[in-house]
Chains A and B, each alone.
Chain A
Amino acid sequence: MTPFSLKRPTSLSEASSAFAGDAAWLAGGHTLIPAMKSRLRSVETLVDLSAIPDLDSISRDDDRLVVGAMARHAAVAASPLVKAAIPGLAGLASLIGDPQVRNRGTIGGSIANNDPAADYPAALLALDAIVATTHGTHAAEDFFQGMFTTALDEGELITSVSFRVPRASTYAKHRHPASRYALAGVYVARFEDGVRVAVTGATTAAARWPAAEAVLNAAFAPASVGMLSFESENLATDIHAGADFRAHLAGVMLREAVTSLL
């Protein structure tokens, strides 16, 4: 790694002052540190967020579940509060990476990175999430702006993510067997006012699936989604899977998710 200076603030205001010049936030570090080790990334200042108290808290606030930015995937997966309010979200967290990744990786780090095959972005879109930061708030749909791109300004720090608690929801994921990233992952959430569906892994950035929402709002059943496959201008093709296969897999995951919610 290229040498850097590490700051370890103990409050948000200290963190903001420490973030100066060529700087990056360090949350769980399980994307950033490998990137720095392979010299894809170098910074002069790394601001570690792990010593700031309460940034990992999880709480229920009326019809919303609020997850602190530094909540680790393992903590979300095991949280009685998450399991009671949104079991689908706890299930999603338990499928991220491997146990050692889940013990270190955080929700804030994951969504700030916005990897096109990351799991959390699908949950944020389907669960009508609001991302709170040191600068204000972003609706999930405004927050994610394409591959590895978000609405965050330089030095803007995510503090929490609040999810609207649905009547029921679940996440179905076809994992790449080696990386365990989603080749296609579909989050389905049923609210009183309708169904929301979001897809990750299949496209260059997670996205809502309006066609699936429309048929499920008409009748929530596997027959409604039939052989629906995911249509998008942004379907991804790489050495792991082509666009047609990913579009098809998204359909398979959609039917799996709908079936498990019946």
Chain B
Amino acid sequence: MVASLKINGALHTASVPDETLLVDWLRDDLGLTGTHIGCDTSQCGACNVLVNGASAKACTLLVATLDGAEITTIEGLGTADALHPMQKAFRTHHALQCGFCTPGMVIAGVAIAQTHGADVSVDTIRHELEGNLCRCTGYQNIVAAIAAGAKDMAGSEGARIAGSAQ
């Protein structure tokens, strides 16, 4: 199956076996290894990406079903020199320890900010983070970082990710 997808703004044509998972194509064919494989059973959220603005687990999506979709991975948010506001907030609030879950957490944070706005409540953040697991830091600082990142995104031009966010 051949599918055309926009990845972080650039058009790519995937010519892959029909059973190819999005996460494997991103990592193995495009070299975008920021999207992690954690549990590989649709639970941990380390593979979260934005699909047309909505967060989704790349380990549970077939590339062949995503023809025409716009995907944003962690590499599409910011660079080492110019971090996205949500990435900055994770650094400021020490919201990571080993860092393995962090790309998925940051993507989830961006989706939360885009769906619920700058003043998203802590309760909402906790409900909306149920698809992400962290095995070392715990969630306190992650929740604090997302609350701060949501505020910073509202005041930052270009922080919003294109796509039909819900």
Residues on A close to B: CB < 8 A? 1-6, 8, 26, 29-30, 33-34, 36-38, 46, 48, 50-51, 74-75, 78, 97-101, 103-104, 180
Contact = CB atoms under 8 A, between A and B. Distances in A.
B64 A97 contact: no
A78 B21 CA distance: 28
B131 A98 contact: yes
A167 B111 CA distance: 34
B35 to A, nearest CB: 13
B41 A34 contact: yes
A141 B130 CA distance: 32
Given A4-B18, A6-B18, A100 B48 contact: yes
Given A4-B19, A34-B42, A103 B65 contact: no
A231 to B, nearest CB: 32
Nearest to B42: A34
A99 B18 contact: no
Contacts of A33: 42, 60-62
Contact of B42 (A1, A50, A78, A101): A101
Given A37-B40, A100-B131, A8 B54 contact: no
Contacts of B17: 3
Given A98-B131, A99-B131, A100-B131, A6 B42 contact: no
B18 A104 contact: no
Contacts of B36: none
Nearest to B64: A6
B96 interface: no
Contacts of B128: 99
B55 A103 contact: yes
A257 B145 CA distance: 35
B104 to A, nearest CB: 9
A48 B41 CA distance: 20
Chain A residues touching B, majority SS: mixed
B108 interface: yes
B166 interface: yes
Contacts of A29: 60-62, 65
Contacts of B41: 34, 37-38
Contacts of A97: 131
A100 B19 contact: no
A101 B108 CA distance: 12
Contacts of B152: none
B18 A3 contact: yes
Interface string B72-85: 00000000000000
A51 B111 CA distance: 24
Contacts of A78: 166
Given A99-B111, A103-B54, A46 B18 contact: yes
A134 to B, nearest CB: 20
Contacts of B130: 98-99, 180
A103 B111 CA distance: 11
Contacts of B51: 103
Contact of A30 (B1, B19, B42, B45): B42
B86 interface: no
A104 B60 contact: yes
